[in-house]
Amino acid sequence: MKKALLLAAILAAVPLAASAETWKNASLLDTMCASKEKVAKDPDSHPASCAVQCAKSGYGIMADGKYLKFDAKGNEQIAQELKSTKKTDHLRVTVDGERQGDTIAVKSVKLD
């Protein structure tokens, strides 16, 4: 009985492994503007200039009608790309990472 309880405790303590995912052609938004209903309904209208100005709030994507935030690594990667993009709106990205709740642990993110 003690062995079974010990085994159950060990298994409960080991986090379930997150699986890698790829989001292609996903709408990129900054976290501040993602909460605005108008922007959430039409993310392609969100200007790149606003995304750059709101960089401190962080970034993420709209996926399945839900906003998923990037981790610090993802925020750094996409901030660098936004500074050099010639796009003015329709910010779309391909993201590779692991979803952890409402956050993506980003392996790579690239503007499409």
pLDDT tens profile 7-60: 455 555 444 556 899 999 999 999 999 989 888 889 999 999 999 999 999 999
Which residues contact residue 48 at a Cβ distance below 8 angstroms, ignoring those fewer than 6 apart? 82, 85, 87, 88, 89, 91
- Residue 5 belongs to a domain: no
- Residue 96 belongs to a domain: yes
- Residue 90 belongs to a domain: yes
- Residue 92 belongs to a domain: yes
pLDDT in tens, 44-100: 999 999 999 999 999 999 988 899 999 999 999 999 999 999 999 999 999 999 999
59 and 29 in contact (C-beta within 8 Å)? yes
Pull the structure tokens for residue 45: 């209208």
Tell me the helix, strand and coil percentages in the chain, rounded to 5.
40, 35, 25
Domain that includes residue 69, residue range = 19-111
- Residue 13 belongs to a domain: no
Q: Phi and psi (nearest 5°) for 47?
A: -75, 145
Number of domains in the chain: 1
Q: What is the pTM of this model?
A: 0.80
- Residue 4 belongs to a domain: no
Q: Give the pairing of strands 66-70 and 92-100.
A: unpaired
